[in-house]
Structure 1
Amino acid sequence: MATFLFALFLLFAAINIGYFLAFFKFSASESSEAYATSFPVSVIVCAKNEAENLQNFLPAILEQDYPDFEVIVINDASSDNTLDVIEEFQKIDPRIKIVNVINNEAFWANKKYALTLGIKKAQNEHLIFTDADCAPQSIHWLRHMTSGFTEEKSIVLGYGGYFKYKKSFINKLIRFETLLTAIQYFSYAKMGNPYMGVGRNLAYTSKQFYKQKGFASHLHVRSGDDDLFVNEAATNRNVSICDHTESITRSVPKTSITDWFRQKRRHASVAKFYKNKDKLLLGIFYSARLLFWIFLVMLLSLKYYWPYVIGALGLTLIIEGIVYFQSAKKLDERDIVWLFPILEPFLILSQLGIFIVNTISKPSHWK
């Protein structure tokens, strides 16, 4: 029995190590660079009850050092004064174009419907997406994101992080989870299997959008305007990644574990619509991580092969630590690296809880 448990533990350790060795493809690579691009672009921001965030963060978009861009701001049937705020910005900056969405019965509270109207409003082929609660962390954000476009590359994956709140464990947990997710989707894209992107920092062409018939194939799914679109449209030839520190956007994170848990429930519910190969690869990864820690605790509690168990744990943490450190350096998340042996078990338990709760009930969606 002891030998069998130990063998299973080594198997899950090997799977974890194998995945993180694959992630070296991203973490050890050179960061993307910005090139001199000047073609016109349309920045698209979807806002629902975001009056305060637009006042705080829209100036960071308007201040971008880029020669030719417009900003499409979508008021998605807000009940606050979001529309008033957008109109005030438009008075002082004609680059702002307004799309005012009024709810209708067929597309009630559907962000994909609102985004579709925004895309149709855009005058330019190259589209850059971010959220109303997001702020580019450099005036060169647009230059970096547009550098990802080529004649062949029609989708650009960027990093959308969260603002850092000191002395907040939940903030560090949220940012660690965001870092791990980015390591995965950047690494998979590097290996020729792009499977998702995040709407806080994403770009694609209108030609690609219409080629996929927009969000038609998953319009019935409330979430997934970003990752489901990329999962369907991305190939090993049409995707580039943008991982320079000047290309980062940051948004307002949840401040309570309950709100974050609710948000992650929505995100996790979308994954079941991914391609089968992506669901399989992600399922193996998360299952192996969970089982690794379960068998670790079990073997140490029973004192079975404990010197070898500690050795396997040390090797796993060293390899993971190198990947986390290199990736965090690229994506400006260094302060959370040293806590990863603590944050990882918390994150795994949270993901298990999300899976269980989502199995029992459906999560709520776009505001």
Structure 2
Amino acid sequence: MTLLLNTLLIGLGVITFIQLIYYVFIFGKFSFAKPQVPNPKKLPVSVIVCAKNEAENIKKYIALLLSQNYPAYELVLIDDASSDETRDLFEAIAKQHDFVKLVKVDNNEAFWGNKKYALTLGIKAAKNEYLLFTDADCYPQSQNWITEMTAHFSATKTIVLGYGAYDKIKNSFLNKIIRFETLLTATQYFAWAKAGKPYMGVGRNLAYKKEEFFRVRGFMDHMQVRSGDDDLFINQAATGSNTNICFSEAGFTYSMPKTRFKEWFNQKRRHVSTAKLYKPFDKFQLGSFFISQFLFLVLAVLLLAFQFQWMIVTGIIVFRYIFAWLSLGFAAGKLKEKDVMYWFPFIEIFLIFTQINVFITNIFSKPVHWK
């Protein structure tokens, strides 16, 4: 028994070292990065919004897209065969504003309910080379959203990853879970982008040149996968030399998070279902991080339960949480999510078991995608 416990203690030390590499040496590339000082540019930009049955959100947020403080931009509104009044709203907006272009998408038997098909039509219809994407249920944090995002384009940087945040809901622990998970995900994809290995972005806040879209044949290599118009595209098109990030607050977008656990759980099932199509290295680094989180928790609990070298075990646990808290805490400061860090240990444990549940559930049933 003593030999086994000693082995577990060594394993805990190894796993903690792996966690240290992630939190400090990888995530730290973003967490401890200096604040951004963007260089505003006046690039010809087409803002693309794809909507399916989003009439209520359009009424709430469209004004913020129409009033951006940017010298000249085109707003491409895509109605993806909506059954509510989305198309009527878009038509009225297009009549009132010359810089608004409406793309009407009818159901196509070959691409039934596929958002990627609708986005492809919108991208082809856009007149400008620089494309900036958000969703119909999102709104920009400021009137300088376009300015902030496009400031990170350059002669070589043709893809810009932004932060898509969620609104804060008071007295909601689920809201803290959702925002922490969003913070952790953003910390990961920002950090890996700074490390020269970008692997994903979020469609709520994403920009790239049209040439990048056509260089990889758009979504054709994963058109059969209903989700992934953002992360699968970035996984395929982004490189260390062509990708930049934007984490200045004025460049954030926000959207209303799910308010019921089941809805959020189903959303996570859709997101996870695309990760299996990532490049081998990206699947490895994401899997290694999750496995190290899970094993750290299991080994720590086992060793404490047997009260084996409890002072050493406690020291390792405290050490691990200190550097993890610091790393994510600095990232939370950059992304204006500091309040979720007070709950870090509890939320992390909850997310570990939720992730396991998502993996198991996806094995036995396919998640539902675009409405």
TM-score (norm 2): 0.97
Which letter does structure 2 place at the counterpart of 1:17? L
Tell me the equivalent position of 2:10: 7
Question: What's the secondary structure of 2:43's corresponding residue?
Answer: coil
Tell me the equivalent position of 2:64: 60
Q: Percent identity?
A: 50
Tell me the equivalent position of 1:253: 257
Deviation at 1:339, TM superposition (A): 1.1
Equivalences for residues 118-137 of structure 1 within 5 A: 118-137=122-141
Structure 1 window deviating more from structure 2 (253-262 vs 335-344): it is 335-344
Runs of 4+ aligned residues of structure 1 deviating over 3 Å after TM superposition are none
**Distance (Å, rounded) in 2 between the aligned partners of 1:52 and 1:96:** 19
**Distance (Å, rounded) in 1 between the aligned partners of 2:98 and 2:308:** 70
Structure 2 unmatched ranges of 5 or more: none
Structure 1 unmatched ranges of 5 or more: none
* 1:296 maps onto 2:307 in alignment: no
* 1:87 maps onto 2:87 in alignment: no
Contact preservation (8 Å) 2:76, 2:101: yes
Deviation at 1:134, TM superposition (A): 0.5
Contact preservation (8 Å) 2:149, 2:160: yes
Contact preservation (8 Å) 2:40, 2:148: no
Tell me the equivalent position of 2:173: 169
**Distance (Å, rounded) in 2 between the aligned partners of 1:264 and 1:253:** 12
* 1:224 maps onto 2:228 in alignment: yes
**Distance (Å, rounded) in 2 between the aligned partners of 1:343 and 1:90:** 44
Tell me the equivalent position of 1:20: 23
* 1:204 maps onto 2:200 in alignment: no
* 1:142 maps onto 2:136 in alignment: no
Contact preservation (8 Å) 1:74, 1:98: yes
Question: What's the secondary structure of 1:273's corresponding residue?
Answer: coil
1:12-52 CA-to-partner distances (Å, cap 9, x unmatched) read 11111110012111111123233231121000001011000
Equivalences for residues 173-188 of structure 1 within 5 A: 173-188=177-192
1:77-97 CA-to-partner distances (Å, cap 9, x unmatched) read 111111111122223322221
1:129-150 CA-to-partner distances (Å, cap 9, x unmatched) read 0000101111111111101111
Please report the RMSD computed on the Cα atoms of aligned residues, expressed in angstroms. 0.9
Contact preservation (8 Å) 1:47, 1:82: yes
Question: What's the secondary structure of 2:259's corresponding residue?
Answer: coil
Equivalent residue for 1:315, pick from 307, 310, 319 = 319
**Distance (Å, rounded) in 1 between the aligned partners of 2:16 and 2:255:** 34
Question: What's the secondary structure of 2:131's corresponding residue?
Answer: strand
Contact preservation (8 Å) 1:32, 1:241: no
Which letter does structure 2 place at the counterpart of 1:191? A
Tell me the equivalent position of 2:274: 270
Equivalent residue for 1:239, pick from 221, 239, 243 = 243
Tell me the equivalent position of 2:100: 96
Question: What's the secondary structure of 2:276's corresponding residue?
Answer: helix
Structure 1 window deviating more from structure 2 (43-52 vs 83-92): it is 83-92
1:157-198 CA-to-partner distances (Å, cap 9, x unmatched) read 000010110110111000000000000000000010000000
Which letter does structure 2 place at the counterpart of 1:259? E
Deviation at 1:305, TM superposition (A): 1.8
Equivalent residue for 2:80, pick from 73, 76, 87 = 76
Contact preservation (8 Å) 2:40, 2:150: no
**Distance (Å, rounded) in 2 between the aligned partners of 1:294 and 1:216:** 42
Question: What's the secondary structure of 2:184's corresponding residue?
Answer: helix
* 1:330 maps onto 2:334 in alignment: yes
Contact preservation (8 Å) 1:35, 1:143: no
Equivalent residue for 1:34, pick from 34, 38, 41 = 38
TM-score (norm 1): 0.98
1:94-116 CA-to-partner distances (Å, cap 9, x unmatched) read 22211111011100000000000
1:210-242 CA-to-partner distances (Å, cap 9, x unmatched) read 111101111111110000000001111000000
